[in-house]
Each structure stands twice: as C-alpha cells, then as structure tokens.
Amino acid sequence: MLMLAIFAASLALPFPPSPRFVPAPVPEPVAWEPTRAGDTLTKGAALSSVLASRGFDTDHIREIIRLLQAYRSPRTLRPGTALRFALGATGIPDRILLALTPDSLLHFVHDDSVWTTRIEPVPFVLDTVRISGVIESSLWSARLGGEVERVGKKEFEEMVYDLADVFAWKVDFTRDLRRGDVLRVAVERKVRPDGSIRSRHFLAIELSNAGRVLRAIPQPAPGGRYVYFDEEGRSLRGAFLRYPVPYRITSHFNTRRFHPILKLWRAHEGIDYGAPAGAPVEATASGIVTWAGFMGAYGRLVELRHPGELRTRYAHLSSIAPDVRPGARVEQGQIIGRVGSSGLATGPHLHYEFLQNGRHRDPLKVELPGAPSIDAARQAEFLRDRDEVLPLLYGIPISDPPVSLASGAARTAARGRSN
C-alpha cells in the first residue's frame, strides 16, 4: 500500500517538457551561374593549384581531393571543368560547386571543421520542337521550315542520321528521296540551363516519299531506347538488318564466279563486303549461335540460327567475340566478331551468307520478315499515344526560302555512308 501511495504521488509531479525538435540547418545550395574568370580549369592547371589560388591551405586541399576521388580521379578533370565558390565568414570559400559531368554537380560543404559532399543533378527543361523539310537533292540540304531557328546545325545533322535509322527498312535516304518529298517531325528534348541538349527523341514523324506517306510513332523499349511503329501499330523495323557491316559490296551473290585463289569457276553463295581489318561485324538478326570457330575455307566463322528455318553466316573473321559461342543467344546489332582474312581470302573482307531451309539465297533479293507488330495487350495504349502525338505534325509550316542548316562536311559524311 505504501509503494502504491508513493507511485500515485509521483504521477502528480509535473514532468519537465521535452525539448522542442529543431532541425539542423541545411546550407542553401550554391546557385549555378555562368562561371567567372578563373572558375574553370585551364589546360595544364591542376585542381590543387586552383584551390590554392582561392586561399585553401594544404590540409583543406588534401581533404577536398580525397573526397573527390570517391567520384572520379582529379587527373581526369578536363580543361574547361567549371567551379563555383561561396565565401565563408573567414573570407575562405566554405562551399564549392564542381561540374562533375554535363548532368551532375558535386557540392563540397565545409561545416564544423568537416568537409562533406553531395551530388546534385543538373536541372533540365522539356521542350518540343516541330520542323519540316522539303527535299531538293537530299535531306542534308533540305529546305527547312517550322521552328528551325531553335535547332542548331549539329543537332539537325544528328537528327538526319536518326531519321535514316528509323526508316532504314522502308527508305534509303541516300537513293530513294525525290525532289519535292516532304518531312515533318516533332521532337521532345531535355535542355540544360546552358542551352545544350541532354537527350532527345522523336514524338512523331511523317515522310511523304514518291507518292506514299510513312508515319512513325515511338514506343519505349528496354535500355532507354525507342522502337518505331506505323499508325496501325506495325513495326517499321525489319527482323534483319540490311547489312552486317556498313561498307561497300565488293562481290555479289553469283552462281558462277571465278575464284581468285582457286582459279576456277564456282558459285559465290554470299556477299563480300570490302571492310578494313578489325571492323566490327554485327548480327543482322537475333538468333542462337550454332557455330563459332574455324570452318575450312571460311576461316573463322560464326553461324546463327533464326526463327523460320533461317541461318546467317559471317566468315573470314579475324576474331570472334568472347561471349559468342555455340548455344549462346545474340541480339540484332550485337558485335559478334571482327573483319579479317582468315581462310581462303585475298585480303580483309567479310563474307556474308543467308540460308533459308538449308538453301543459299541472295541476301539482297530474299523477302525478309518484319519485326513483330505492337503487342495486342498494348494496342489500346498505343492508339492513345498515336492520337496524342500525330496532331503535333499538323500545321507545321513549310519553308519557301532556301533555309539549310546542313554543312558540306555532313553531306560528305552522308555520301561516305552510302558507299
């Protein structure tokens, strides 16, 4: 009873109030503004010398560099790397902002005699650009219209190469375009504060070519890529690439050809590409490796099995990729080896064969299957996307004056790609 009385009396005593929670002060971020003179690394200048010029002593410089090494080696900082400093009460900077990559900033904060770091992404804004082009002789020299003033020369050239990839199975941009063909595109971009482009992708494309109208609508794919479909959901991508190496053909498929080494007439059951030694060879389609090694006159050879009783062969290789072995799966565009001159070959080149039901076929003439259409489970979503983005193409003005962003170098590069 005595203990209960004591306990009851204790409850009547007032407890001291709990301390009010006060969050620790968070330093305000340093504003990322255009750098002043001396705020960028110059050629031959070390980060330590820049820090010393700002008044940091040896101990502070050593600690800052030690923290930086957790993200990258100070030796890899390139000339032009931007820095910002915020002065502390002592007149020595207590905050540093370093442009670690084009898309990330590294903060150094000095507080209570300790340096700490944190990463902050460079902000970006989304914008949409709509442009048109009327073909005069090629897309690289098209007469441009729409919001062309917002697109730089280099960006437009890169866009042309991307457009060629989107329509690679429908249109050869170096041969099939005709004077008067019209292109309309809507592009979504991520733009950094300095105006540079972080990334971009097409929202919708329309190409009027030789009396036909081709449209392309993107859909996201693994790895941050996009695959393109027409307005009905049919894939614009073929199941097979046009060629395993982007070089000129030196010998066509021929049922009767004089062999330069054997000195006799025999069938040439493939296509030879005059590529330089060491050039990467890509799988023209996804498939399973059935052979990876030497095969007589073929030299080093990779054979792939594809759906529909199709096989492709890549011969005279100088080397085969380490992960390409019998039973392994390879994806379209994956590098499976390097061009060489192994086996019966007069010099470096790639010999490419296409077999259907065990019979050799001319890769340039055989009817190739297309990639699958949009999955039925995604059809409704795709149609909603289509109806949202296609109107972006409507009303894009077509330029009358000859406005061209393409350079002679770009056109030269384009002609080089077609050879």
Quick one: what percent of the chain has pLDDT higher than 70?
A: 83
User: Cα(352)–Cα(251) distance, rounded to whole angstroms?
Assistant: 10
Mean pLDDT across the stretch 145-171? Answer: 84
pLDDT category at 266 given cuts 50, 70, 90 is low
User: Cα(142)–Cα(181) distance, rounded to whole angstroms?
Assistant: 10
User: Cα(244)–Cα(279) distance, rounded to whole angstroms?
Assistant: 11
pLDDT at 231 over 80: yes
pLDDT at 140 over 70: yes
Residues in Cβ contact with 387 at an 8 Å cutoff, skipping those fewer than 6 apart: none
pLDDT at 324 over 70: yes
Higher pLDDT: 320 or 261? It is: 320
pLDDT category at 395 given cuts 50, 70, 90 is confident
Q: What are the E-state strand segments in 52-138?
A: 83-87, 93-101, 104-111, 114-121, 125-134
Mean pLDDT across the stretch 21-46? Answer: 50
Mean pLDDT across the stretch 251-259? Answer: 63
Q: Looking at residue 336, what is its pLDDT?
A: 96
Mean pLDDT across the stretch 106-110? Answer: 90
Higher pLDDT: 202 or 53? It is: 202
pLDDT in tens, 326-372: 999 998 889 999 999 998 888 899 999 999 998 999 888 787 777 78
Q: Looking at residue 29, what is its pLDDT?
A: 43
3-state helix, strand and coil shares in percent for the chain, rounded to the nearest 5: 20, 35, 45
Q: Which residue has the tokens 């062969």?
A: 313
Amino acid at 199: S
pLDDT at 22 over 80: no
Of the given ranges (50-54, 89-93, 312-316, 359-363), which has the lowest mean pLDDT?
A: 89-93
Q: Is 188 exposed, middle or buried (0-12, 13-18, 19+ CB in 10 A)?
A: middle
Would you state the structure tokens that stand for residue 195, as one six-digit string? Answer: 């105006």
How far, rounded to the nearest angstrom, does the alpha carbon of residue 36 sit from its chain's CA centroid?
33
Q: Looking at residue 416, what is its pLDDT?
A: 39
User: Cα(45)–Cα(252) distance, rounded to whole angstroms?
Assistant: 56
Spatial CA neighbour of 310 closest among 293, 295, 332, 325: 332
Element (H, E) at 3: helix 2-12
Q: Looking at residue 314, what is its pLDDT?
A: 97
Of the given ranges (10-24, 92-106, 313-327, 382-396), which has the lowest mean pLDDT?
A: 10-24
User: Cα(169)–Cα(166) distance, rounded to whole angstroms?
Assistant: 8
Pairing assessment for the beta strands 114-121 and 125-134 based on DSSP bridges? unpaired
Q: Looking at residue 13, what is its pLDDT?
A: 42
Q: Looking at residue 400, what is its pLDDT?
A: 59
pLDDT at 74 over 70: yes
Taking the CB of residue 23, how many other CB atoms lie within 10 A of it? 5
